[in-house]
């Protein structure tokens, strides 16, 4: 029986019996982490952009500006609320709270995506704001000097640079999400950690199962961080550039017919 096996034997036994469950759990973990990080980034970019909308001198007392200030206050409160409370509590709060107070019965999947996205969004909002502020003001002035409005400048010039600069933080968030989705077991999401709890509970093999799960988490996070490094390299482009030769210049000038 399993109690008579050595450590390695028990691991092999667990993998043979529950390998697929672990993989499915890992898949769930990865799915929630990836999707929520992407949605969270979108939220973060939206909030960060709104938080950094400048008010034109002399326009401080117009209705539009009051509305903007109100939006910024609400978004600020959102950031503070979701950064300042544990995700495990947020999960319980949203999953059970929405049902009890407003009668909105979210599925546990919807709740899971919602909680992790909104949580990531709160963190990303501050990263994006920092990323936008850190771009040299000359970039915005250059864009304005050729007649771009604030949002054109944001989309074409500022955000691409801010995105590159905060990519390491996006990676951080993704890695944190891969690990922290483990708290979603409180709302019965069958993620990797939930599988671990079930298996170790059934077989009394806490250490062995934890070893497997540790290894799977580590594999996922290391892979993700490697991929993000590659993305950074790709975005930085080549250190060298090709001088355009006569043919190329001619082509660039006369492409119209093509």
Residues making contact with another protein (CB under 8 A): 56-59, 136, 138-139, 141-149, 152, 156-157, 160-161, 164, 237, 240-245, 248-249, 252-256
Distances in Å between the Cα of 95 and the Cα atoms of 30, 42, 186, 188 are: 21, 22, 10, 11
Taking the complex as a whole, how short is the minimal distance between the CB of residue 157 and another protein, in angstroms? Answer: 5
Measured from the CB atom, the residue of 6 and 137 that comes closer to another protein is 137
Taking the complex as a whole, how short is the minimal distance between the CB of residue 128 and another protein, in angstroms? Answer: 16
**Token digits of residue 165:** 């600069």
Taking the complex as a whole, how short is the minimal distance between the CB of residue 126 and another protein, in angstroms? Answer: 22
Measured from the CB atom, the residue of 8 and 254 that comes closer to another protein is 254
Helices (H), 135-245: 137-145, 150-153, 159-180, 192-203, 206-236
Please, what's the b/e burial string for 169-204 (b: 16 or more CB within 10 A of its CB; e: otherwise)?
Answer: bbbebbbbbbbbbbbbbebebbbbbbbbebbbeebe
Measured from the CB atom, the residue of 60 and 80 that comes closer to another protein is 60
Ramachandran region, residue 58 (left: φ > 0; alpha: ψ -120 to 50; beta: rest): left
Distances in Å between the Cα of 127 and the Cα atoms of 7, 22, 99, 121, 238 are: 44, 33, 32, 10, 26
Instruction: Give the Cβ contact number of residue 55 at 10 Å.
Output: 12
Rounded to whole angstroms, the Cα distance separating 206 from 184 reads 20
Taking the complex as a whole, how short is the minimal distance between the CB of residue 169 and another protein, in angstroms? Answer: 18
Measured from the CB atom, the residue of 100 and 137 that comes closer to another protein is 137
Measured from the CB atom, the residue of 1 and 246 that comes closer to another protein is 246
Q: Which of these, 35, 36, 32, 20, lies nearest to 195 by C-alpha position?
A: 20
Measured from the CB atom, the residue of 164 and 197 that comes closer to another protein is 164
Taking the complex as a whole, how short is the minimal distance between the CB of residue 50 and another protein, in angstroms? Answer: 20
Instruction: Give the Cβ contact number of residue 164 at 10 Å.
Output: 14
Taking the complex as a whole, how short is the minimal distance between the CB of residue 154 and another protein, in angstroms? Answer: 12
Taking the complex as a whole, how short is the minimal distance between the CB of residue 101 and another protein, in angstroms? Answer: 45
Measured from the CB atom, the residue of 8 and 246 that comes closer to another protein is 246
């Amino acid at each position: 029986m399993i109690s008579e096996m050595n450590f390695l034997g028990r691991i092999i036994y667990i993998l043979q019996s529950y390998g697929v469950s672990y993989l499915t759990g890992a898949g769930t973990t990865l799915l929630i982490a990836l999707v929520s990080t992407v949605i969270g980034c979108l939220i973060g970019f939206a909030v960060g952009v709104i938080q950094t909308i400048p008010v034109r001198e002399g326009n401080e007392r117009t209705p539009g500006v009051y509305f903007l200030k109100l939006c910024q206050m609400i978004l600020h409160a959102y950031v503070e609320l979701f950064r300042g409370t544990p995700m495990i509590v947020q999960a319980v709060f949203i999953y059970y709270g929405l049902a009890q107070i407003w009668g909105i019965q979210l599925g546990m999947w919807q709740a899971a995506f919602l909680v992790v996205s909104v949580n990531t969004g709160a963190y990303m909002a501050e990263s994006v704001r920092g990323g936008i502020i850190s771009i040299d003001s000359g970039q915005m002035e250059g864009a304005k000097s050729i007649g771009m409005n604030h949002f054109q400048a944001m989309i074409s010039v500022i955000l691409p640079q801010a995105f590159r600069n905060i990519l390491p933080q996006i990676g951080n968030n993704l890695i944190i999400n891969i690990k922290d989705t483990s708290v979603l077991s409180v709302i019965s999401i069958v993620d990797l950690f939930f599988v671990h709890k079930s298996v170790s509970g059934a077989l009394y093999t806490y250490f062995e199962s934890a070893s497997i799960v540790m290894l799977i988490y580590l594999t996922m996070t290391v892979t993700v961080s490697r991929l993000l490094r590659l993305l950074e390299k790709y975005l930085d482009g080549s250190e060298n550039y090709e001088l355009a030769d006569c043919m190329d210049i001619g082509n660039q000038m006369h492409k119209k017919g093509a």
